[in-house]
Amino acid sequence: MIHHFLITSSSGLVLYSKEFTTSLAQPRLVGSLLTALVEFSKKNVSLPVSYIELDNLSVSVSVSESTRIICAVFFDSEDGSHFGKLVSTELLLAFSQVYTENVENVNHLNNFGDFSSKLPDILVSCLGCVLNELKATSFIDNAVLYHGDNILANTFSEDSYYFVRFCTELVTTANGLVSNCNDKIQNITLETQYDQSSNGNGTKQLILYQLEYSLYLVFLIHSDRKESALFETNRVIGLLEKCTFG
């Protein structure tokens, strides 16, 4: 879970700060300390600090080489460094793209106040990055994440609207079948035979997961690599459930 994040200038000035659970004591002081820590590590080992882990809390730090803006995300240590790096990188990228001119000539911190309205889009960007990581594997062909009729992230090349509608109807029908059992569907698997001219026959599986907050995640995987695919699938589901800005 993300508890807090802040974005500072190269001088340590806090440009934007957002809290979700508990407030960060003295964010200006923390911003100055983070900037000093990044500069110290770059000066001595030519590498900026990127991750700090405490007993229960971790901090992921991303630095823009062009603007020297620093983004620090405070989150639960159990979420893992990969999660923190994903979020801090996307936040920094979005902030740098939108406010480049203002960052170079800071006149008033209110210039950055509307960044909160951009957080939902940044969340979607994080989700897209997670799914693209899956597609890069050799055992998962594609994935799509949707909410209602809205496709939040998609690696399928063609338009997936009608495919998503089919999945929605499939889940609705399946939930209807188990409604009298006081239970609900966790996932649905469809298996299809396909022809591999060079390697004989093989199968692919389409797995549909019903997640929290009415989110649905669909994977197309290779059946002969199912164990590896499911391992990656569970890892990604964990990331998706953590990718929230409150």
List the chain domain ranges.
2-107, 127-242
Domain 2-107 matches domain 127-242 at the CATH topology level: yes
Residue 104 pLDDT: 57
Tell me which architecture the domain covering 127-242 has in CATH.
2-Layer Sandwich (3.30)
How far is Cα of residue 101 from the mean position of the Cα atoms in its chain? 27
Report for 88-97, 138-147, 170-179: range of highest mean pLDDT: 88-97
Share of the chain above pLDDT 90, in %: 13
Instruction: Note the pLDDT of residue 200.
Output: 46
CA 95 to chain centre: 16
Over residues 202-223, the mean pLDDT reads 81
Report the distance separating Cα 53 and Cα 64, nearest Å: 21
pLDDT of residue 246 exceeding 80, the answer is no
> Count of CB atoms within 10 A of residue 83's CB?
23
Average pLDDT over residues 170-196: 80
Q: How far apart are CA 121 and CA 125, in angstroms?
A: 6
Q: What is the pLDDT of residue 210?
A: 84
Percent of the chain with pLDDT over 70: 88
Element (H, E) at 16: strand 14-19
pLDDT at 110: 58
| Rounded-to-integer distance, Cα 85 and Cα 202, Å | 37
DSSP state of 67: T
Tens digit of each residue's pLDDT (9 = 90 or more) over 5-32: 999 888 888 888 888 887 777 888 888 8
Sign of torsion over alpha carbons 5, 8, 87, 155: positive
Query: From edge to edge, which strands make up the β-sheet containing 51-53?
Result: 14-19, 2-8, 70-76, 57-63, 51-53
Q: Does domain 2-107 have CATH number 3.30.70.100?
A: no
Q: For residue range 98-127, list pLDDT tens digits in order.
A: 886 656 555 455 568 788 888 888 877 888
Is it the case that residue 203 has pLDDT exceeding 60? Answer: yes
Closest CA to 3 of 27, 29, 34, 33: 27
Structure confidence at residue 197 as a pLDDT band (50, 70, 90):
low
Mean pLDDT computed over every residue of the chain: 82
Query: DSSP readout, 122-177?
Result: HHHHHHHHHHHHHHTSSSEEEEEEEETTEEEEE--SS--HHHHHHHHHHHHHHHHH
pLDDT in tens, 33-86: 888 998 899 889 988 899 999 888 999 999 988 878 899 999 999 888 888 999
